[in-house]
Structure 1
Amino acid sequence: MTDLKIGENSEVIFHFSIKLEDGSAADSTKVHNKPAKLVMGDGSLTANFEKCLLGLCAGDEKSFKLAPEDAFGMPNPDNIYYVDRSKFGSDTPAEVGAIIAFTQPDGTDLPGLIREVAGDSVTVDFNHPLAGQQVEFEVEILEVRN
């Protein structure tokens, strides 16, 4: 049996770690030993992350450095919102550094980071927490299906 290489429509089961420039881990599937599963092109990873996986086979381990624009993008000022403090309650207090899930009109939750609280105004940042950061993407391919 030949080893299948990851192609445009492959289903891939893999472990990954995302590290910041200082070497600290931002995310890893190995923490709970629960590998990730994706179908290439399904939108769960950015096109640039997927390009890193193309051509790899089960058993391959690889590490890639990605610039912010190739990873989680640059922070977008349009993703910063000012919310009235009265919208927060005792169960979700407006505290700097807190990450709160905000329900969108379609019913999905979007996490926002509270950046500032000034009087009745709360600044909420909906950019990805890793936006603007160079990351190192380490993968260990466990299985490839075409």
Structure 2
Amino acid sequence: MKVEAGDFVKFHYVGRFENGEVFDTSYEDIAKENGILVEDREYGPLGVNIGAGEIIPGLDEAIIGMEPGEKKTVTVPPEKAYGMPNPELVVTVPVSEFTQVGLEPVEGMYVMTDSGIAKIVKVAEDGVELDFNHPLAGKILFFEVEVVEVKKEGASDAHSAEVEG
């Protein structure tokens, strides 16, 4: 039973960078081994509606045609993942934006703002440079994917989730 657009699919995955470093996985043991375990996360197969935009396009497309039990490794370019970094999503705000709320800005730190999550790229006297690009923007991603279950389009009990980096 090959996966088609519209099917609800459960699959395991391991996401890696070009250098082999694991950045995300649905396997708890692999997360532990690679020092990326998230304590409150429920590990297990990810369930998505294929072709509905619930996961990055490169993974969505790669899963089409797979069958339960099948494994494959997929290379996903930035254009089919999180896109290229957009310079317009890097902005500078006054340091006072942080000090007013009792926060000391530190380079590399992620902060929640009214506009979303941003990474502090640079801290200077005249301002704090924030990058609102997705952390995986511009990166080639490698996924090992294993389809666990397929429910054909129209089957109920569909839950969705999004692969995060």
User: TM-score with structure 1 length normalisation?
Assistant: 0.86
Q: 1:103 offset after TM fit, Å?
A: 3.1
Matched, 1:25 2:22: yes
Q: Does the aligned pair in 1 maintain the 2:14–2:22 contact within 8 Å?
A: yes
Among 115, 125, 130, the alignment partner of 2:121 is 115
Name the CA distance, whole Å, in 1 between partners of 2:103 and 2:2.
47
Q: Does the aligned pair in 1 maintain the 2:59–2:74 contact within 8 Å?
A: no
Name the CA distance, whole Å, in 2 between partners of 1:102 and 1:139.
34
Among 127, 146, 161, the alignment partner of 1:140 is 146
SS of 2:61's partner is helix
Q: Which structure 2 segments of 5+ residues have no match?
A: 29-41, 153-165
- Corresponding residue pairs, total: 138
CA RMSD of aligned residues (A): 1.7
Name the CA distance, whole Å, in 1 between partners of 2:125 and 2:114.
24
Matched, 1:127 2:133: yes
After superposition, the C-alpha distances for 1:12-32 in whole angstroms (9 at most, x for unaligned) are: 111111100110001111126
Matched, 1:46 2:28: no
After superposition, the C-alpha distances for 1:69-123 in whole angstroms (9 at most, x for unaligned) are: 222211111111112212224664311000112234xxxxx22111001114111
- Of 27-36 and 130-139, the range deviating more from structure 2: 27-36
Among 97, 100, 108, the alignment partner of 1:97 is 108
Q: 1:41 offset after TM fit, Å?
A: 2.6
2:39 aligns with: none
Identity among equivalent pairs (%): 32
Among 6, 11, 18, the alignment partner of 1:9 is 6
After superposition, the C-alpha distances for 1:23-55 in whole angstroms (9 at most, x for unaligned) are: 000111112632211111332213222111101
Q: Does the aligned pair in 2 maintain the 1:29–1:36 contact within 8 Å?
A: yes
2:157 aligns with: none
Q: Does the aligned pair in 2 maintain the 1:92–1:100 contact within 8 Å?
A: no
* Bigger proportion of residues as strand: 1
